[in-house]
Amino acid sequence: MRVTVIGGGSWGTAFSVVLRDRGHEVTLACRDPEHAAAIVESRCNPRYFPHIDLTGIAATTIEEAPITTANLAVVAVPSAAFGATVAMLPGRCPILSLTKGLDPVTGKRLSTLVTDRPVVVLSGPNIAEEITRGLPAAAVIAGVDHALAVQIQLAITSPTFRVYVNDDVVGVELCAAAKNVIALAAGGADGLGLGDNAKAALVARGLAEMSRFAEESGARPETFAGLAGMGDLIVTCWSKSGRNRRAGELIAQGATPDEARAQIGMVVEGLTTAPVLRDLSRSLEIEMPITEGVCSVLDGVPLSELVASLMQRDPTSE
């Protein structure tokens, strides 16, 4: 296939490598012309993966990318930029979304912002750096267009990147968004040195929150036991390179959200998603105490107070 990957960050770059290694014709489209030029000149992505050879992958700006002649456009931009990005894409080729989040303006799932062409989403436990090294990983593709999901599954599955198809697009997208908020809390537990028992309990209760919210929104319960739910949540909450976990750790150690974001140097989706998810849960009258607590900490409440409030909630059934 001829594929244009829109977004020159870590995940867009890693997925470009997956596509190239499967024999596809790949163009990596960057927002910044200087970034695109640096990739062309160095044959690597000097901002994110200077050690990964990108030979065979073209690079250009989004405006100059060959999107009208592509068989597939892969969108790997921050959630805050997703709507504007897909709205400006020329042509009618299908879209594969790699972005994990919600639209911060409307609270909508990102795939619903694509109205003029088919769209499917990819999610799962996919740490970009490991994928560029060829370490084994798995993912799930979801969408209402089952034939398109299967077509892309067959086009990208390899001995090191196994892809499953799921028709629960609501569940897959909401898991992808909510797990980043829980990862902020898990990082906070790391930053306070609360131990593995506390962190495991927090992650388990976080999965329960995700399930309540997504089921009320029309998702299927079994999705949360799969790659998009439990799988992605585990890796996001435990990986040392996970941005959201690291941001939570830094905030617990005294950094402001802006300072944590600056130190990490990449988009931290949980910081954008947390207030959106909180507002949606309130509108649906769904109890999400961890999400509420994360938002309180982002608003300045000491993390130690949050821990005390969660532990002193009224006893209840699991």
Active site residues: 179
Element (H, E) at 163: strand 161-166
- Report the alpha-carbon distance of residue 237 to residue 47 in Å, rounded: 24
State the DSSP code for 315.
P
Q: How many CB atoms neighbour CB 106 within 10 A?
A: 11
Rg of the chain, C-alpha, whole Å: 19
User: To which residue do tokens 């000491």 refer?
Assistant: 302
| Angle value at C-alpha 77, between 171 and 66, nearest 5 degrees | 115
Q: In what order do the strands lie in the sheet with 161-166?
A: 57-61, 25-30, 2-6, 72-75, 95-97, 119-123, 137-142, 161-166
Residues whose CB falls within 8 Å of the CB of residue 184, separated by 6 or more in sequence, listed in order: 244, 245, 247, 248, 251, 270, 271, 274, 294
The answer to whether 110 and 101 are in contact (CB under 8 A) is: yes
Sign of CA dihedral 239, 244, 249, 250: positive
